[in-house]
Chain A
Amino acid sequence: MENKDRRAPVSQQPHVVAKPEHPEHIGGSVSIQINEKKVTVPMGTTILEACRENQIHIPTLCHHDDLCIAGVCRLCVVEVEGMRTLQAACAYPITDQIKIKTSTSMVRKARRHILDLMISEHYGECYSCVRNNNCELQSLAEEYGVDSYTFGHVQESQYKIDNSSFSVIRDMDKCVMCKRCVRTCIDLQEVGVLEAVNRGDDTTISTFMDKDLADVVCINCGQCINRCPVGALHANDPSDDIWNAIDDPNKHVVIQTAPSPRAAIGEEFGLEPGHSMTQELNTALKRIGFDRVFDTNFTADLTIIEEGTELIIRLYQALVEKKEVSLPQFTSCSPGWVKYLEHFYPEYIPNLSTAKSPQQMFGSLIKTFYADKAGVDPKDIVSVAVMPCSAKKFECNRPEMDDSGYQDVDFGLTTREMAKMIKEAGIHLPEMPKSHFDNPFGEASGAGLIFGATGGVMEAALRSVVEFVTGNKAEDIFDNANIVPVRGFEGIKYVELPIGDKVGPVPDLIKHLVPNWDWLKGATLKVAVAHGTANAKKIMEDIKAGGKFSECHFIEFMACPGGCLGGGGQPIPTNEEIRMKRAEAIYAEDESLEIRKSHENPHVIQVYNEFLKEGPCSHLSHKLLHTHYTKRGKYIA
């Protein structure tokens, strides 16, 4: 990962040589020899990159495509002619006509030694590990034929498992000190929870003052889990409790599935990334024993209505009533981002939309509206949510999330844990027949679906807002209602939308809130999208300094790179290429749907007609669908 904005001084990036803009120019490339084969690569290419391009496999452990080069595990060592010692391929930028050998006996011996040393300190047995069969150390051991414990094997646990957090569990007995989690937390997310402490043999990965994860500024994004090569970091798995609930005949177990797990769960069953498994998953969940399967996109649509209405109210108050209102409004769908803001920018909590995330909205609706409709006592309902996210586990355990009178959502389940449960039930997901979601919520719109990709919430909101305000169809303004400027994996996206002079009538749903749209004539709607908390931090610092983002009206933030589809609960591995494929699957599914705008979802309209009769942002919707936040601050006592 080459990143010019990295905070670390140049001295900490010793292994990066800037690549030339035009490698075809004289001096832009260099000819090297890899295992007798002559190849030409651009200056500054690392040996690892050069080998990968030429289909030569080099084992890696600390290297990760999303992260900066570390060169700490030394597994990628190769022989470079003329060098006294073996060189780490990941951290060797090629600037000279070198000759490389990747598989000499010295190289193989060194790699095997390194593996043996790692295994000698790696406590635990593979079959009782969450990462069994998906562990990089395990597969390397297989690859290098480790058949005995050359340097012994620890027989006793050395560390206490930190299971204080609702989301992330740290088991340092399994740690191989690759520091991927450190680089993820400090560089990629800029949250700064994990770092190597102590020295030499005593080194371990720990938190500030060796505190529990629940007591530090961890935002539960789970990106560290997704990058851990072994089982040292994993999510807090509630599947045993869910099995118990399913087995209990008195419990009515309902499950909601979010769009991102559906776009990724196929990977757990050996499919290529980019296969949406929505309807197969419905069948599988029913077979497992869930009583009802609902679509989280339904409440994503509801979120758009509530959050959009809140934005309109804020804008009306600011522009017409000239009141002091907190603008820009921030989205509140990502629990990782919410906790990040609570910790690092608590003074901006008023800017955060009070609308709950789709998961929590569904939670309170299931135990009120649905319980009533289905004639089930809410105390017997066990509400489960399949999310791409480890922070959702924390979110559903927030003490304020009990507006239905019970804990709104009982369990948050990650994509990986869902796949595990399905496998445990003896089901091969790709073979399942297709089936639909259950009523009364039914299928949802494509707008709710694209919440899974970065820019999705913004696109969904804009599809509704432009129709509400201009009275024109979104399709007339954007080609096929695809709002391309907010899509894509650019870290920060900024879009201006001139509203023009033609405004339409106020839709019935929000007629009681604004009399007309005349006050928006000629206005320009400014929106921004950020994914990954490092990018969120940039926007927040800009807002603090009064820069261009402080003039925005609405900003979407997602804690994870790529949005939910790159979440901390998604299948491992997750990288740029896989994130792109998942995004393609989500956008393709959106285009295949008939209803693609939240306000056109008939089930949403039904809920407003039958249950939330006073409309969005009314008293009842505030009670059930909105929440409040806690000023946490970043100081750790």
Chain B
Amino acid sequence: MLVVEKNALTEEIEVLVEKFGSDRSSLLKILHEIQKKHRHIPDFAQQEIARLLDIHPVEVFSVISFYAFLNTESKGRNLVRVCQTITCDLLGKEALCNAIEREFGCKFGESTKDNKFHLEYANCLGLCDQGPAMAVNERVYTKLTPEKAVEILNEVK
């Protein structure tokens, strides 16, 4: 990471700490903002957050590793999460996933070559009556078929 990038990141975190307060309970809010903007939380950012909140970097890492929606490595531009919990599974999640994998040429847990998509499984999205369900970034799609899912993803920019 370049020094300029580091400084920019530090400044950004300082603004967030100013906004949310330097108490350790502000940690999640700050992490969310960084995740939203950078789509991941670089290790330098974790250490800067730790410094400004007066906690240990490993505690920040522990929190990030706990939550599925926070990550330390950069992923594809659009996050595709297919519900893997039992109802969606019974309603045909597997066919859905196979179709998506075929269409984009990458497995779940990976990003596409052009870095447009990152595919992953999610635990229950809470839409068991309308499965199989899939979330693309922050939008949820329900009652999917393999064709419909591929179509939706192809429309994503």
Contacts and interface: CB of A to CB of B under 8 A. Distances in A.
Nearest to B23: A9
Interface stretch (B57-65, B84-92, B101-109, B128-136): B57-65
Given A7-B55, A636-B57, A199 B65 contact: yes
Contacts of B66: 197-199
Secondary structure of the A contact surface, majority rule: loop
A195 B43 CA distance: 16
B56 interface: yes
A67 interface: no
Contacts of A634: 47, 57
Of all A-B residue pairs in the complex, the 3 with the closest CB atoms, nearest first, are A192-B56, A195-B62, A197-B65
Interface string A181-200: 00000100001111111110
A208 B24 CA distance: 18
Contact of B59 (A186, A216, A635): A186
A258 to B, nearest CB: 30
Interface in B40-58: 43-44, 46-47, 54-58
A106 B96 CA distance: 47
A491 B120 CA distance: 50
B24 A195 contact: no
A31 interface: no
B112 interface: no
Contacts of A636: 43, 47, 57
B72 interface: yes
A191 B43 CA distance: 18
A380 to B, nearest CB: 44
Given A9-B24, A9-B25, A209-B72, A195 B47 contact: no
A194 B54 contact: no
Nearest to B60: A208
Contacts of B44: 635
Interface of B: 23-25, 43-44, 46-47, 54-59, 61-62, 65-67, 72
Given A9-B24, A209-B43, A209-B72, A193 B54 contact: no
Contacts of B62: 195-197
Contact of A193 (B25, B47, B58): B58
B46 to A, nearest CB: 8
Given A209-B43, A635-B47, A186 B56 contact: yes
Given A9-B23, A195-B61, A636-B57, 7 more contacts: A7-B55, A192-B57, A192-B58, A195-B59, A196-B62, A206-B58, A208-B46
Nearest to B47: A635
A197 B56 contact: no
B61 A208 contact: yes
A216 B72 CA distance: 17
Interface in A196-215: 196-199, 206-209
Interface in A136-161: none
B25 A195 contact: no
Contacts of A191: 56
28 contacts: A7-B24, A7-B54, A9-B24, A9-B25, A186-B56, A186-B59, A192-B55, A192-B56, A192-B59, A193-B56, A193-B58, A194-B58, A195-B58, A195-B62, A197-B62, A198-B66, A199-B66, A207-B58, A208-B46, A208-B58, A208-B61, A209-B43, A209-B46, A209-B61, A216-B58, A635-B47, A636-B47, A636-B57
Contacts of A192: 55-59
A216 B61 CA distance: 13
Nearest to A192: B56
Quick one: which of A193, A196, A209, A634 has the most chain B CB within 10 A?
A209
Nearest to A198: B65
A197 B25 CA distance: 18
Interface in A1-35: 7, 9
A510 B24 CA distance: 52
A194 B66 CA distance: 15
Contacts of A197: 61-62, 65-66
